[in-house]
Structure formats: C-alpha cells, structure tokens
Amino acid sequence: MTRARPYDRDAALEAAMGLFWRNGYHATSLKDLEAALSMKPGSIYAAFTSKEALFLLALERYFERGRDAFRTKMAHAVSPLDALAGHLRDLASEDFSDAGQCACMLVKTLLNAAPEDVVIRGAAQDYLDALREDMADVFERAIMRNELPRGTDTARLARLYQADVIQLRIEAQRGVAGAELAALAEDMSQRLIGLRADVFTA
C-alpha cells in the first residue's frame, strides 16, 4: 500500500443506505451518490464494483441493523409477548420526520423492484423472511414461558405480527399524525396481549 484510503467505507455505506432508502434504487442516480458519498464515479466503482452491488450492501446494512436492534430488545425482555407489544408501541414513536425513511426499506425495495431486478428482489425477500423467523423465535419463547398455549402455530403468528410492523411504517409514510399512529400501535398491541388471556381462561 502506497496510498491510504481517504474515504471512510463505513460512512460511505451509511450515506448510500440513507439515499437508497429515501429514493429507492432506480430513482437514486450516480450523481446523487457522488454528492452523498463525496466520491467521484471512478472511486465509487473501484470501491463497490457497481451501483447494484452498492445497493445490496446498503440493503444488507439496513437488514442487519434492524435485526440486531430487534434481537437485543427481545433478549433483555422478561415477557416475550410484552416485548413484542412494546416493540409495536416503540415503532409508533420513532422519528418519522423524513418522509422518505418511514416505510421499511425492505418493503419499499420489494414493491419497487422491476421484474428484471431478480437479485435485488430476492435479497429483499430473503431478509424479510429472516426477520419473520426471528419473530417466530420470540413467539416460540412465549410458548416456553407459558404465555401462549403449546401447539400454537408460531409461523402464522409471526406472519400476522410482521404484517403489523410493516403496516405501522407504511401508515407513518402516509403521513398519519403521531396520535393516530400511537392509537394504531395500541390496537395492534392489544390484539397481541389478548392472545395471552387465552392461556389463563383455558
């Protein structure tokens, strides 16, 4: 090595993620990336091979960050069911001031990807599936702790739960006011907590 890298790879990826999240893959031009990453086109291609490869790295970053945040939140919780409900309520009070970064980047990518963007579409699907499996694991733990009846179909519950998570972010993107968003999260939480009552009444 005769010359140190003057660019910060982590910061560049972070900036790229923000841009792709806000504008989507196709609507983000290389000019936008040049400005956001403070890199010239040649440098971007030297560092990340292609726009698509850069997008995939940004998407992976988004996924890992979300998954890690979810996992640590669940790991510290005493009651899995309460933690899941709390996660919904937390979502409603997130910072949604940037209209472009409300909806989940994975969902935006999935709905946005053109039929020919097979790789990108596949990555978004895989990440969403991985997150749903993490959710199913938490429901599994809820069974272990007798918060849910044994034999509960955790895969189905996880699908319903993920639907709520995704939808909260979409409602935020719709510009729903904070109070209404909180009310929606509360309704969703109640549906979740309602599952626990069944154990006691059974």
Partner DNA sequence: CGTTCTATTGAGTGATCACTCAATCGTGAC
Partner DNA sequence: GTCACGATTGAGTGATCACTCAATAGAACG
In the complex, the residues that contact DNA under the rule CB under 7 A are: 1-7, 26, 28-31, 39-43, 45-47, 50-52
Q: How many CA atoms lie within 13 A of 183 on its CB side?
A: 5
- Return the closest-CA partner of residue 23 out of 103, 93, 92, 94: 103
Angle at 128 between CA 118 and CA 34, to 5 degrees: 60
| Residues 17-56 interacting with its own copies (rule: CB under 8 A) | 22-24, 26-27
Cβ closest to DNA, residue 33 vs residue 185: 33
Place of tokens 């409603």: 92
Place of tokens 């290389």: 30
188 lies in the site for its own copies, by CB under 8 A: yes
- Return the closest-CA partner of residue 93 out of 15, 3, 168: 168
Smallest gap from residue 35 Cβ to DNA (A):
11
Place of tokens 């179909």: 153
9 lies in the site for its own copies, by CB under 8 A: no
Smallest gap from residue 4 Cβ to its own copies (A):
36
2 binds, among DNA, its own copies, none (CB under 5 to 8 A by kind): DNA
Cβ closest to its own copies, residue 21 vs residue 48: 21
In sequence order, which ranges of the chain are alpha helices (DSSP H)?
A: 9-23, 30-37, 41-48, 51-75, 80-92, 105-112, 118-144, 154-173, 178-201
d(CA 11, CA 197): 47
166 binds, among DNA, its own copies, none (CB under 5 to 8 A by kind): its own copies
Smallest gap from residue 103 Cβ to its own copies (A):
5
- Return the closest-CA partner of residue 63 out of 140, 123, 11: 123
163 lies in the site for its own copies, by CB under 8 A: yes
Which one of residues 11, 41, 159, 198 is an interface residue with its own copies (CB under 8 A)? 159
Cβ closest to its own copies, residue 7 vs residue 100: 100
| Residues 123-142 interacting with its own copies (rule: CB under 8 A) | 125, 128
Amino acid identity, residue 96? F
Residues that bind its own copies (CB under 8 A): 22-24, 26-27, 99-100, 103, 107-108, 110-112, 114-115, 125, 128, 156, 159-160, 163-164, 166-167, 170-171, 173-175, 180, 183-184, 187-188, 191
